[in-house]
Amino acid sequence: MFLGLRTVIYPAPDLAAAKAWWTSVLGIEPYFDQPFYVGFNVGGYELALDPNGDPAAGPVTYWGVRDVEVALKSVVAAGATVRDAVQEVGGGIRVVSVVEPSGAVVGLIENPQFVLPEALPGEGEGPGR
C-alpha cells in the first residue's frame, strides 16, 4: 500500500524565521513560497513548513499511496483513527492524517505529480523509487 516516503511537514509558527533557517541549512530556495505553506524540493522529496502547524505535535510525515481513500480505509480497519479528513490541496494532490494505535501521527498523500529523479550510481531501487 505505501509507495515510500514523500513529504515531511514541520510546524513553523514564525514562517519567515523557519524559511530563512531551512534555506540556510539546505542551501536552496523554496520552490513554493506562500504565506500558508513553504515547500522545498530536497532530492525529489518535499520538506514543507506550515505556519498553522502545532510545534507540540511535531512534524507529520506523509507516505505516498496510489489512492488516499483506499489507503485510509485500510489503516482505519487496522486500528488508526482519523486526525484530519481527506483534503484536496491543489494539483490533484490529496492528503489525510491519522493517529495509529500507539499515538503517532501518520500522513498519507496521493500525489499524481510525484516523480523521483533518476537514481544516482550506487542507489538502490527500493519501494520509494
Tell me the CATH number at 13: 3.10.180.10
Answer yes or no: is 86 within a domain: yes
If pLDDT is split at 50, 70 and 90, which confidence band does 9 have? Answer: very high
> Residue 124: helix, strand or coil by DSSP?
coil
pLDDT of residue 100: 95
* Residues 25/85, Cβ–Cβ less than 8 Å: no
59 grid coordinates: 512534524
State the average pLDDT for the chain: 90
**The residue type at 59:** P
Percent of the chain exceeding pLDDT 90 equals: 76
**Residue at 119 is within a domain:** no
- Identify the domain containing residue 31 by its residue range: 4-110
Residues 6+ apart with CB under 8 A from 108: 62, 63, 65, 68, 71, 72, 75, 95, 96, 97, 98
Q: What does the alpha-carbon distance between residue 36 and residue 52 come to, in Å, rounded to a whole number?
A: 8
- Displacement of CA 121 from its chain's centroid (Å): 26
In a domain, 35, yes or no: yes
Q: Is residue 118 domain-resident?
A: no
Instruction: Please give the pLDDT value at position 129.
Output: 45
Q: How far apart are CA 45 and CA 39, in angstroms?
A: 10
In a domain, 57, yes or no: yes
Number of domains in the chain: 1
3-class secondary structure, 34: strand
Read off the pTM.
0.82
CA distance 90 to 123: 31
Asked if residue 95 is part of any domain, the answer here is: yes
Residue 117 included in any domain: no
